[in-house]
Amino acid sequence: MTQPCSGGRIEVICGCMYSGKTEELIRRMRQVKIARQPCRIFTPRLDTRYSANAVASHIGSRLEAVPTSSIGEVLAQADDIQVVAIDELHFLVDEPQHIVDGCQSLANRGLRVIVAGLDQNYRAEPFPAISQLMAVAEQVDKLYAICVRCGSYATRSQRLIDGRPAPANAPTIAVGGLELYEARCRNCYEPAR
C-alpha cells in the first residue's frame, strides 16, 4: 500500500466557484486538528464575504484563520507548525512565481502545504499561481460544481453584471458570491467579450 511522503508536500484543491474548495480545505484541516498537528490557516484580507478572521464555505462551515495579504506574511508565521493552509490563494497580492516559490520553500522545510483557489478566472483563463502549483504539487484535486443552467458538471465561473456576462475588460479580481457568480459547464459558459 502506498502512502503520502512523511516530509513536506504541496496539496492543491482547485476548481470553479461553488465546487467545494473551501469545504475540502476545512475538512482536511479538521483532520489535522484531530491529529493534534501544529497548524495555521490563512485567509486573504481581501475576502471578507463571510468573516475577516475565518475561512468559511458557502454552506456555512468555518475555521478560525489568520488574515494575510501575501505569501511573505505566511512564511513569517510558519516557524512553529507542521501544516499550513491557505484559502483563496488567487487573492494574494504577490507575483505568481513568488507565491509558488513561497509554497515550495515551506514544503522544502518539511511542512504540509494545503492551498485552495480558483483554477480559472471569469474569462476561463488559468490563474497563474494555481496552475504553476498544480505542476509541482504532490497532490492535485480539481473539484467541479453543478451548472446552474443545465445540471452538468460545471468547471467555469461565470461572472455576471446586472445579470449579463461581465465584459472582458472588467477587473480580474472581484470578490463576490451568488450575486456576482454562477457555476457553468463548458457549453453554458458565455465567454467574456
Catalytic positions = 88
Give the long-range contacts of residues 25-29, CB within 8 A, separation 24 or more: 25/55, 25/85, 25/87, 25/114, 25/116, 26/55, 26/57, 26/61, 26/62, 26/63, 28/85, 28/114, 29/63, 29/83, 29/85, 29/114
Torsion region of 125: left, alpha or beta (phi above 0 gives left; psi -120 to 50 gives alpha): beta
